[in-house]
Structures are given as structure tokens and as C-alpha cells.
Amino acid sequence: MAHAGHHDDHAHGPRKGIARWLTTTNHKDIGTMYLVFSLLMFLVGGAFAFVVRAELFQPGLQLVNPAFFNQMTTMHALVMVFGAVMPATVGLANWMIPLQIGAPDMALPRMNLFSFWLLAFAFLLLLSTFLMPGGAPASGWTLYPPLVLQTGEAFPLAIFAIHLMGASSIMGAINVIVTIVNMRAPGMTLLKMPLFTWSWLITAYLLIAVMPVFAGAVTMLLTDYFFQTSFFNAAGGGDPVLYQHVFWFFGHPEVYIMILPAFGIVSEVISTFSRKPIFGYEAMVYAIASIAFLSFIVWAHHMFTVGMPLSGQMFFMLATMLIAVPTGVKIFNWTATLWRGSITFEPPMLFALAFLFLFTIGGFSGLMLAIVPVDFQYHDTYFVVAHFHYVLVPGSVFALMAAVYYWLPKWTGHMYDMRLAKLHFWLSAIFVNVLFFPQHFLGLAGMPRRIPDYAAQFADWNMVSSIGAFGFGLSQLLFVWLIVKCARGGERATAGVWEYQHGLEWTVPSPAPYHTFDKAPEVR
């Protein structure tokens, strides 16, 4: 072969020591870095939530002052959204998309590494704002003006961190699209791709569409703050509500950016452990695409109380209700995949099934929130907090945990401790409900969100919720311990790992060699 001289370059393993992680362009290494980073941020964001729930354990202010409380809620959200959930999905994309489509690596490996380090430095910047005079941003993760313009020295750093995160996400998204479009193995037509890869292809388009919009919104904040523009200042002819429209035009697709890859994961896991291909594969793809499309025309349902024309309220209500249709199709198809299957309950399946039930509960409260007249009551209460935590925690996060338990043997080459994993599942599944279900009650009973202290009638359910939070948070330490244990050793995993699986990732040995699919596989 003419390339014989170069052969060694391609076959070499990773570099030794820290240099491996600083200079690698290998999709598996970068995927690992994203996943480890995400786990770290999950713990950091969790610590912030811990402070919030500890303060809310009983009425009165015991631990922190209100300004710091607001920093905690704001940073909890920013860290969890941009530092934990999104990077986890990117890490999975890096690891699994090339393996699922039979590609040797991501299409743009250097940009891949660059986007990871941009993200890491973005968070270094964002977290450093705690040390600034005035503390970290405290205006909520939505950064609404005029309140956000009262932020202290942290303001420009937070904006710059968001720009870096956005650039990182856009690069990651471009990489995913280029890889999927150009590097599929011969015979891997689009409608043969695994659903995880499909969900990410659509997610990547969403990212490219909306991250620049967010960058634009925060840049306008920056010029309002430093250069006397009046985009969002009524005194200069601007409008604070304009920011909300622009933000949610980004923000609504953003929530689907966090859930669509989860849909992909759950589809794969439910199929594997029902020992049956996914029911209605094409309908699943079209449902994801419809949800992605609808995500662009429902943004104002986040701001029904802001004073919109009647016609606007009706349009956004009806468009939002429509999302229930493709989402319903997905839920029903997952149920039909279980139907006449041969079901077993390994840890990934447990998390996927919990997702199925609990995400659906979040879907119901979402449908209720779409109804404008009742949203006038629900808006900005704990009912909303309960809703989006149901779709994000036992939704996205449980799906991500299912993904880790599903592919961890492929990554490390070891089986993990099944009993520990099941213990982690049951503790998480119970405490997550103790944590978030009572928040529905609090919201309906009239407790606003984002308050550090509350009237006495809210005391009981807040205490229950806090107990759930402590239990859920501590249970996640089991998850960390399990992953460390599995990385260090354990029973050898076979190439197939699970009894019934399909997809190219299961044709390579476990752990997946440093370089896979140097020669494109055959796909029939």
C-alpha cells in the first residue's frame, strides 16, 4: 500500500501524561473530556442547588443573604444548562456518532479540541465572577434587563463567558453536521442512522440557528451597559420586552437542544432492552424534526404575562399546544416498542423507563402551562419550577445517565457494578420525586419562584422538597464512585456488551480501540 510509510502515524496510541489531553484530536479523548467536564459541572451546579434548598428548608433567612441567594439560583441554572447538560450531550456525540455511522473520527478534529477548551475557559471565567465586587450575576439565567444591568463587575465577564460558550457550541454543532453528512460508512443512508445520531443532527441545526441569536441579545446588553445604547431602555426609545422576545427565540429551541439527544438515547436503550427494533422508526425521526420546527414558533409562551396583544397570546398558545402531538407520538412509539418485547431491567433501561414516566408528567404540566388563562396563575411560580425540572432532571439528566450506563462498558472495557448502579437508580428515582413533586403544590398554593424566604403556609412542602434535594444530591456521589470504579477495573466487557443490540458501535471491541473504522465498515 502506498500509505505504508504513514501507517505508524495512524496506528499510534495516545500520548503519555497530560500532553494527551491538551493536544489530542481524537474524538474519543475529546468525548471523554466533555463528559468528565460535564460531570464536574453537574456537581458544581448541584452544590449551588444545595445552598438554595438548604436556605429554603424552613422560613426565615438562616444561611445566606437574599443577594447571594439570587447568585446561587442564577449560577445553578447557567452551570447546569451550559456546563452540565449541553456538554454531556456533546461528549456523547463525540464518542458515539463516529462509532454509530462507521467514521474514523469527527470531520474537524482540531476545531473539536478548540471548542472543548473554549468551553472550559468560558466556565473558568463565569465561575470567577464570584470573586468580583458585587458577586456573580444574580438576575436569573435569563438575564432580563433592566435588572441584569444592575450587575456589578461580573457583568462583562459573564457576557464574554456566554460568547465563548456560544462559539464553542456552534463549532461543536458544525462538526456534528459535517461528520454526519460526509463521513457515513457506505450503505449508511440517512434513514438507517441510529436515532441518537438522528437526534443530534437535528439538535446541531437548532444550535447553529439560535446560539448567534443569544450572542446578539447579550451583545445588545453589553452596549446598553457600556456604550449608552438603548436597545432595552424605554427612556431612549427601546423596550425591555424586546430582550425577552429575542432571548426566548433562543431559549425555547435551547430547551429542545437539551431534550432531543435525550430522546435519541431513550430510543436506543428501550429498543435494546425490549430486544426489539424501535417501533415506527421513521415516525420517530419526523417527530423530532417537527418538534424542532415548532420550537421556533412558540417562544412567547415564556412571557404570557408581559402584556401581549390578544392575537399574539392566542397564536403562541395554539402553537405551543401543537407540540403535544409529535411528543405524544414519541411517547406512544416508545410504549409500542415495549409492547410484545422481551423486557429486562438493566440500569440503562431503568433510567429510560423512569424517563418515560417522569418526562410525561413534565409534558402534562407543560400542556397546562400552554393554556394562557391558567398560565396567568402558574407563571413565575413553583409550578413552573416543578415543570421544567421534571423535563430536565428525570427527563434529560436521567436519559444522560441511561446513556452512561449503556455505553460505559464500551468506553472503559469493564462492566460496572450492577448492584451499585441499581441502588443509584432507585435512590435517584425516589428522591427526584420527593424533591420536585411537592413543588407543583407550592406553585399552585401561590409561592413565587426565585424567593429566598416564604410565608409560613409554604413551610411543610418546602421542607419535604429540601429533604428530597439532599437525598438526590448525595445519591449522585454513588454515580461518581461507580464511574471511577468502572474506569479502574472490573469484569471484562464483550464487544456486544448487551444481549440484544444493533448498530456499528457494538461491532468494535470493548474498550473501543483508540482508532476505529480506519477502514469503512460494510452496512447492509
Partner 1 sequence: MTIANRFMKRSVVAGAGAMLAALPARADWSLINMSEGVSVLSREIYDMHMIMFWICTAIAVVTFGAMILAMIRFRKSRGAVADHKLLHNARLEAAWTIVPVIILIAMAIPSVEKLVRIEDTSGSGLTVKVTGHQWYWQYEYLGTDVTFYSRLARSSDFARQKGSGIDPRSVENYLLEVDNPLVIPTGVKVRLLLTANDVIHAWWVPDFGMKRDAVPGFINEMWISVDEDKPGTYRGQCAELCGADHGFMPVVVEAKPEAEFAAWLLNQKKVATSVAATE
Q: Which residues are marked as active site?
A: 76, 105, 141, 168-169, 252, 254, 256, 267, 301-302, 327, 330, 449
The yes or no reply on residue 457 touching partner 1 (CB under 8 A) is yes
Single out the residue of 11, 19, 124, 234 in contact with partner 1 (rule: CB under 8 A).
Answer: 234
In the numeric block, which cell numbers belong to residue 265?
A: 438515547
**Nine-digit cell at 403?**
446513556
130 is a contact residue toward partner 1 (CB under 8 A): no
Q: Build a one-symbol-per-residue string for 135-174: x at contacts with partner 1 by CB under 8 A, - elsewhere.
A: ---xxx---x-xx--x------------------------
Angle between helices 27-55 and 109-128 (to 10 degrees): 20
The rounded distance, in Å, linking the Cα atoms of 338 and 184 is: 29
Nearest in space to 320 (alpha carbons), one of 333, 304, 331: 304
Of 450 and 485, CB closest to partner 1: 450
The length of the chain is 524
Site for partner 1 in 66-85 (CB under 8 A): 66-67, 70
Site for partner 1 in 285-314 (CB under 8 A): 305-307, 310, 313-314
Is residue 356 within 8 A of residue 388, CB to CB? The reply is no
Q: Is the Cβ–Cβ distance between 392 and 439 less than 8 Å?
A: no
Q: Nearest distance from residue 200's CB to partner 1, in Å?
A: 23
Binding span for partner 1 by CB under 8 A among 101-109, 214-222, 391-399, 421-429: 421-429
Q: In the stretch 458-497, what mask flags binding to partner 1 with x, by CB under 8 A?
A: -xxx-xx--x---x--------------------------
Site residues for partner 1, window 323-382 (CB under 8 A)? 324-325, 328-329, 331-333, 335-336, 338-344, 353, 356-357, 360-361, 364, 367-368, 371-374, 376-377, 379-381
What would you measure as the largest C-alpha separation in the chain, in angstroms? 79
Min dist CB 254 to partner 1, Å, is: 19
Stretch that binds partner 1, among 43-51, 59-67, 152-160, 218-226 (CB under 8 A): 59-67
Task: Give phi and psi for 250, each to the nearest 5.
Answer: -80, -45
From the list 212, 500, 507, 515, which residue makes contact with partner 1 (rule: CB under 8 A)?
A: 500
Minimal distance, residue 32 CB to partner 1, in Å: 28
Residue with Cβ nearer partner 1 (253 or 363): 363
Three-class secondary structure assignment of 380-428: CEHHHHHHHHHHHHHHHHHHHHHHHHHHHHHHHCECCCHHHHHHHHHHH
- In order of 57, 68, 136, 154, the CA distances from 65 in angstroms are 15, 6, 14, 18
The residue range among 23-31, 174-182, 316-324, 489-497 that interacts with partner 1, by the rule CB under 8 A, is 316-324
Can you read off the three cell numbers belonging to residue 339?
A: 409492547
Using CB under 8 A as the binding criterion, the count of chain residues that bind partner 1 stands at 103
Residues whose CB falls within 8 Å of the CB of residue 128, separated by 6 or more in sequence, listed in order: 157
Copy the grid coordinates of residue 184. 457515513
